[in-house]
Amino acid sequence: MTAGISVKQAYLLSIFTGLCWWLSWPPIDQAWLAFFAFIPLLWALESQLATGFSGGKVRYWLIVYTGLLVWNVLTTWWVGKASVAGGLFANFANPALQSIPFMLFRSARRHLNRKAAWVMLVTSWMALEYLHLRWEFTWPWLTLGNVFAGAHTWVQWYELTGVFGGTLWVWTINILMLEWLLKLSGKRKGNAVVIPFFRMGWVQLAGIIMLVVIPVTASLIRYGQVQDEGSPVRVTVLQPNFDPYTEKFSLSESAMLDKMLSLSATGLTDSTDYLVWPETSVPQPIWLNRAAFSGPIRRIRSLTDQYPDLTTVIGINAFMEYDSKEELTPTARELVNRQMHDTVWYDAFNSSIQIDTSGRIPWYHKSKLVPGVERLPYPGTLKFMEYFTLDLGGISGSLGTQKDRSVFYNSDSTGVGTAICYESIFGEYVTRYVKNGAGLLFIITNDGWWGNTAGYKQHCAYASLRAIENRRSIARSANTGISCFVNQRGDISQATAWAEDAVITGVVYANSRQTFYTRNGDYLARTACWVMVLLWLFTFVRNRTARLRSISK
């Protein structure tokens, strides 16, 4: 049991937890702190639960929320660079959601045994992270397993578990360490610990240390074993470096396209297999129904035609016209031509397309959209709020999506999955490209909206985790930020600098083997959801029974 602490001390401990998580996260990358980061907060909560102080449930929640708020604000404050309102919402609402598992833990502590309460805390946290990957207010940036993005050599076993293995690992070590510290502080005489040296839980501590050392050691061994597998593919990546706040609106579309074409030409040879441009790199929206006749597409094709084996993958703003109202989606828009007395229905997309010598132009639509920026959550229900969605240099209003993760194939039957920006932080989502035949992954993005902050560095670091989970090589093209290559064990190479015009060329490998995680996805999180539900039901029944007994007395 903890010694009684004051309310002020409890808040300070909570703030310390927030600071530890900030320091552990990329790009600071003190990932070892993750194994201790929750201990100060949990210590404060133990004191409140054991000895109590004024405020009860509200005070308990405020203590939890304070630490989580510090973590969120210090780590993802940069969201406000693009939208102050969006940044405030993300950084204040997310810790409120993260506090829910702690409230369930508090309830479980009152009605279940201590071990069951800890299980409730861990499983409900994992369930929350899983929800954040799947609902339309999605914000999984701070999934605990992401903390090892900058220490990817420690988590090569993500090919088995995905990031939820990291979440479970972090929580397990934090709880076991707390229990060991509580044991040390359990018997005191004044300020002196009176537990004999040989009864201070050294075996327990050794076990905890081994739970850190064994996974890290196994990972380092696996890191040494993994080599890039598959057929070599030569890829050229463009970073055009247009400032999204100035150049993308002040330069003419023709001038921007001229720059991208001339930069690309400097990196191409007859042996180049792929040219990759970033998200929304073509400034003019393309009507997909007649894309082959678009001026920008014809200019890009003229470059591609100079290299018969070249396949180009680019990001575009896209429109799709519908022939009838029966085809309309919840995000469909109406365009009225008053002169022709005609109405056109269409959808807008953030898309990628492939251009080669075949004459076909396959496309893929980004389908994990940034809430409030690219999509109004649940547009069928909240259509009336669509006016408030933001325009970040693409197309304002809610964008359309698609159900499947389409894969592009070149003339050599190499399959490429193109994750567009935000999509690349969704582990199980990315596995669907691989399941559909992707031997390579391309990430195309525009990280310039966040400025020269930690945001674009974190986003790039997460690519290492996707490479490990699927054992797929990645080519990453950013408008500005970091363009790079990532090999199948998560190493980043040829990383470009912020605000740099760049063309990089490298050899990546198209792998056909699927990992355990690719095949099974977030099975740990799904299991945690079921365990949490069962524990919650058991807690509810125990609570209800206790109330009925008190009434009957």
Q: Write the pLDDT tens digit of every residue in 147-192.
A: 999 999 999 999 999 999 999 999 999 999 999 999 887 644 444 4
In 3D, which of 515, 517, 541 has the Cα closest to residue 229?
Answer: 515
Find the largest Cα–Cα distance for the chain: 92
Q: Does one domain contain both 20 and 130?
A: yes
Judge whether 272 lies within some domain.
yes
Q: What is the pLDDT of residues 440-482, one digit of tens each?
A: 999 999 999 899 999 999 999 999 999 999 999 999 999 998 9
Question: Do residue 61 and residue 114 come from a single domain?
Answer: yes
Percent of the chain with pLDDT over 90: 71
Mean per-residue pLDDT for 105-127? Answer: 94
CB 298 within 8 A of CB 260: no
Count Cβ atoms below 10 Å from residue 466 Cβ, excluding itself.
29
Output the pLDDT for position 191.
43
The model's confidence at residue 392, banded by pLDDT at 50, 70 and 90, is: very low
**pLDDT number for residue 401:** 93
Give me the mean pLDDT over the 372-400 stretch. 63
> Do both 468 and 414 map to the same domain?
yes
The answer for residues whose C-beta is within 8 angstroms of residue 383's C-beta and 6 or more apart is 330, 376
Phi then psi dihedrals of residue 473, to 5 deg: -70, 150
Which of 210-219, 355-364, 507-516 is least confident?
355-364
- Alpha-carbon torsion, ordered 325, 326, 327, 330, to 10 deg: 80
Find where tokens 């080519």 sit.
475
Is the residue at 327 inside a domain? no
Query: Does residue 35 share a domain with residue 108?
Result: yes
Q: Domain residues for 84? A: 7-225+522-552
Q: What is the C-alpha separation between 539 and 424, in angstroms, rounded?
A: 37
Question: Does position 52 have pLDDT exceeding 80, yes or no?
Answer: no
User: Tokens 């799947």 appear where?
Assistant: 134
- The token pair at 219 is 């990972």
Structure-token pair, residue 400: 């359309």
Of the candidates 87, 88, 63, 68, the one whose C-alpha atom is nearest the C-alpha of residue 20 is: 68
Query: What CATH number does the domain containing 297 carry?
Result: 3.60.110.10
Q: What dihedral do alpha carbons 21, 25, 31, 37 form, nearest 10°?
A: 10
Distance CA 412, CA 137 (A): 39
Average confidence (pLDDT) over 276-304: 93
Helix (H) / strand (E) element for 441: namely strand 440-445
Question: How far from each other are the two terminal CA atoms of the chain, in whole angstroms?
Answer: 32
Give the ranges where 347-407 is alpha helix by DSSP (H): 379-382
Same domain, 168 and 300: no
When pLDDT is averaged across residues 46-75 and rounded to a whole number, the result is 88
Q: From the CB of residue 246, how many other CB atoms can be counted at a distance below 10 Å?
A: 9
Does one domain contain both 50 and 63?
yes
CA angle 90, 96, 100 (to 5 degrees): 135
Q: What is the pLDDT of residue 383?
A: 57
Q: Are 41 and 17 in contact, with CB atoms under 8 Å apart?
A: yes
> What is the pLDDT confidence band of residue 340, given thresholds at 50, 70 and 90?
low
pLDDT over 70 for what percent of the chain?
91
Sign of CA dihedral 175, 180, 186, 192: negative
171 and 246 belong to one structural domain: no
Domain count, the chain: 2
pLDDT for residue 386: 53
> Looking at the predicted structure, is the pLDDT value of residue 94 above 60?
yes
From the list 274, 165, 236, 222, the residue with the least C-alpha distance to 488 is 222
> In 10 A of CB 548, how many CB atoms?
10
Are both 462 and 546 inside the same structural domain? Answer: no
Same domain, 152 and 273: no
Same domain, 301 and 429: yes
Q: What is the pLDDT of residues 492-519, one digit of tens each?
A: 999 999 999 999 999 999 999 999 999 9
Mean pLDDT for the stretch of residues 260-287: 95
Res 67 pLDDT > 60: yes
Cα(414)–Cα(517) distance, rounded to whole angstroms?
22
Q: Within a domain: residue 235?
A: yes
Confidence label for 214 from pLDDT (cuts 50, 70 and 90): very high
DSSP conformation class of 99: T
Q: Is residue 374 part of a domain?
A: no
The answer to whether position 167 is within a domain reads yes
Task: Map residue 451 onto helix, strand or coil.
Answer: coil
| Residue 246 dihedral angles phi and psi, to the nearest 5° | -130, -70
- Let me know whether 116 and 206 are in one domain: yes
Q: In the chain, helix, strand, coil percent, each to 5?
A: 55, 15, 30
Query: In this predicted model, which residue has the larger pLDDT, 277 or 89?
Result: 277
Instruction: Give CA–CA dist 229/504, Å, rounded.
Output: 21
Q: Average pLDDT, stretch 12-29?
A: 98
Domain presence at residue 507: yes
Q: Which H or E element spans position 527?
A: helix 523-552
**Residue 336 pLDDT level (bands cut at 50, 70, 90):** confident
Q: Are the CB atoms for 149 and 462 separated by under 8 Å?
A: yes
More confident of the two residues 331 and 381: 331
Asked if residue 125 and residue 13 are part of one domain, the reply reads yes
Whether 350 is in a domain gets the answer no
In a domain, 433, yes or no: yes
Are 473 and 511 spatial neighbours (Cβ–Cβ below 8 Å)?
A: yes
Strands 231-239 vs 415-420: parallel, antiparallel or unpaired: unpaired
